Structure 1
């Protein structure tokens, strides 16, 4: 028979532990050591266990915890440890049979119950250690958000961010220590948040109102969302490119020749689980890509300044590759030699020389060639005529 788990992760609220389920109370009473935040340790009744305050930053507590194997240990966490909590950070260091979890009500559940909001129709975000720009993809009039915040100062920060984005009319409800005897509720708008000190733990429920710009949900966002020096896959071609790349959950993209980063950024906007690495040889463009990604809430984009294929060596292998710049026979040969079977490759070409490379690549790899010819209505004197863009040839193949 396998050994019983030596670690129990107990979800705590902000109230006294006599409100905990019997299983959680039993785990505390049987523990030899209890680790957790000081505020949670202060709520505990007299126990036989040794009480250990979890250090700050959080990562500093992992090694001491792992050193307690073969002891009966309880770690206290806020609410549901596996919803923007400590649970995942702990579990990834442990084998499946070493731990068990006893979650409590999450802050999201408590706040939704206070507000009367349907939780399945509410955006739930954790910004403890993340920038306010993570809100950008979900900012739209009528959207409801519950966001966990690092501290009281972050309340003013999120209010200012929403106001600067044109959503100062948004209704905000700030909760402190929700679910406990210190719970306090403050109602305001983002533009007129009260000048008071908010105590940790703190979160905000926001109903967005305003006429600021909203980031569209579909691929092919307007070019104006991306700062650029002109080197960018333009909106209609980008929409076709994202369609060919076909992002799926948990996939990774190599975006070669990033330019403004628009393709890699839109790949990341497709789903919260996908990742991307952008390769860009010019330092100014690499910096601009990082700024675009941060501003649009996908700061998880990895930006590498360098030239392909050299900058690709040692990188996590992708599920899809986009070549938007730097197309060469040497690059194609390297990709064919190093990519595993099943990787999707999409490449765009404008010049006749690049088009010839894609035609030859299709003969080896198979796939589809698409010729994209676009024209836009523009003024000509007092009339209107079509102004054609350079045609783009797109290869879409599977390694």
Structure 2
């Protein structure tokens, strides 16, 4: 007789600020029957006396995962905030488990509670997790009329969010300070970002931002203005950058190598295309490498990885879905990439000098793909009149390995 499906040994329970009283009956039953209950000290305290053997989750989080897995097969409960699968610990645990080993009982998330208090439609607002991220992650979402819920690490971060909004020209935004939602300590206060910010916010805390002001808004299209980036002249100019990103064709979740990254504009715009995208920027000049990190942080794209070094001597470990060569083009680099990377990687390379243009022409003749010559000119004064001032032409080679 075939064995039936295994019973789950791990129960993931979402705990709200109302503690034991707010748990559904299946979650209460799992905790009562558990041989071990693991969770942050705050969540354990919210259960009061309704817990069996308790173990506080250690720091760093990964150490707790190893300890939990050591109890595989026993009746174990892992506690998390609200909905464990909404910016929570749920997926961090289940990726180590097989189907059938776990079950989850979520509670309302902070975002759901915030929407219920503010009357905002969840599907129409942005949610930004700032627990362990800089407040500049808000930058792409700052649009007059946009509604944002930001989840914060502690009360001190409220002032940081308000300062970010003021610095970016959105000081007239309305802030809804949401504290300990769903529990007896719940408090909702309303203020403007440019008003005095209270320093007594109670953890856990979130902010509902009704964005307003005359600050600059990041466009959605590729090829944002050059002055969004700090640079020393080593930057793919706006129209050329737009053509490069079109050829690179970012898709959700794709990884980019930006080789010879200069100001980081290509890699940063790649990340702006979708929140799941990833990018590694390689730059041989350490000053420029530091500038890439600063540019990325300023635009809320600090998740870019910056490597200071020269390709092909230094290349990332992770295989890209696409790569851009904006500097350091050479026969050795192209040969290394063809030998190392699997088929299907999208490559776009730019050349400005006659030597690098000839190199791309030779490789395109052998490997195929498309060559595009980009000639741009801008209107400029000539005495009392105007004429066209041409830029250096750029040759673009795009090919699939």
Whether the 8 Å CA contact 2:20–2:50 is kept in 1: the answer is no
2:54 equivalent among 51, 60, 67? 51
1:65 equivalent among 57, 68, 73? 68
Whether the 8 Å CA contact 2:156–2:199 is kept in 1: the answer is no
- Separation of aligned partners in 1, 2:88 and 2:161: 20
Structure 2 counterparts to residues 165-314 of structure 1, below 5 A: 165-312=168-315
Matched, 1:328 2:320: no
**Superposed displacement of residue 113, structure 1:** 1.2
**Superposed displacement of residue 37, structure 1:** 2.3
Corresponding residue pairs, total: 398
- TM-score, length of structure 2 as denominator length: 0.96
Whether the 8 Å CA contact 1:369–1:395 is kept in 2: the answer is yes
**Superposed displacement of residue 301, structure 1:** 0.8
Residue by residue, what CA displacement relative to the aligned partner does 1:299-345 show, whole Å, maximum 9, x if unpaired?
Answer: 11111111111111x61111111010011111111111111111111
- Separation of aligned partners in 1, 2:317 and 2:238: 28
Structure 1, unmatched stretches of 5+, are: none
- Separation of aligned partners in 2, 1:194 and 1:324: 45
Matched, 1:116 2:119: yes
Matched, 1:318 2:320: yes
Matched, 1:370 2:372: yes
Q: Give the corresponding residue for 1:76.
A: 79
Matched, 1:25 2:28: yes
Whether the 8 Å CA contact 1:125–1:146 is kept in 2: the answer is yes
- Separation of aligned partners in 1, 2:131 and 2:161: 12
**Superposed displacement of residue 201, structure 1:** 0.3
- Separation of aligned partners in 2, 1:96 and 1:316: 28
Residue by residue, what CA displacement relative to the aligned partner does 1:244-287 show, whole Å, maximum 9, x if unpaired?
Answer: 00000111111110000000110011111111111111111111
Q: Give the corresponding residue for 1:381.
A: 383
- Separation of aligned partners in 1, 2:375 and 2:208: 47
* 3-state secondary structure, aligned to 1:191: coil
Whether the 8 Å CA contact 2:158–2:197 is kept in 1: the answer is no
* 3-state secondary structure, aligned to 2:371: strand
- TM-score, length of structure 1 as denominator length: 0.97
Structure 2 counterparts to residues 345-356 of structure 1, below 5 A: 345-356=347-358
- Separation of aligned partners in 2, 1:66 and 1:178: 31
**Superposed displacement of residue 48, structure 1:** 6.0
CA RMSD of aligned residues (A): 1.4
Q: Give the corresponding residue for 2:164.
A: 161
- Separation of aligned partners in 1, 2:156 and 2:311: 43
